[in-house]
Amino acid sequence: MMYKFLFPRYSNTPVMSMLLLALRLLFGILFMAHGFDKLSNYTVIADSYPSFMGLGGKFTLLLTMFAELVCAAAFILGFLFRLAVIPMIITMLVAFVWVHHGVVAEGELSFIYAVMFVILAITGPGLYSIDAPVGEYLMYKDDTRTKRDSE
């Protein structure tokens, strides 16, 4: 079921969940700062922003700002965490490969963000997130339905 992917049962301890919360806050706020910078300088950078796969510079910039602002906010809150982190990973991989040509010395920051987002996507948001109680409710509902069906 899709619930198990989006809202996995957490075997995390409270200490591990605090660490995941700290990482979400740290990397989410830093990532959002890049988005706010792009938003505040939109008119200056829109015409010179690199186009990805023929999408045009302005549209590519809008997609980047969506990942850096909207998805980062969901990332911080732990809301639909694994869905929110996907555009963030894609954005950083595109920046690293397309813009910095895969050279770590040039695109070190985008590489670090991409790796950290992949690691956090694997671990999940932890207990201190919006997804944790939602996932528990959906799993409980799923468990009770399964028990009823087997009787």
* 3-state secondary structure string across 39-56: HHCHHHHCCCCCCCCCCC
- DSSP 8-state class, residue 16: H
> Residue 130 domain-assigned?
yes
pLDDT tens, residue by residue, 85-136: 999 999 999 999 988 888 888 999 999 999 999 999 999 898 899 988 888 8
Q: What's the mean pLDDT in 134-139?
A: 82
Quote the domain boundaries for residue 140. Answer: 12-146
Q: How many domains does the structure of the chain reveal? A: 1
> Residue 56 domain-assigned?
yes
Q: Is 110 helix (H, G, I), strand (E, B) or coil?
A: helix
User: What distance, in Å, lies between the first and last C-alpha atoms of the chain?
Assistant: 21
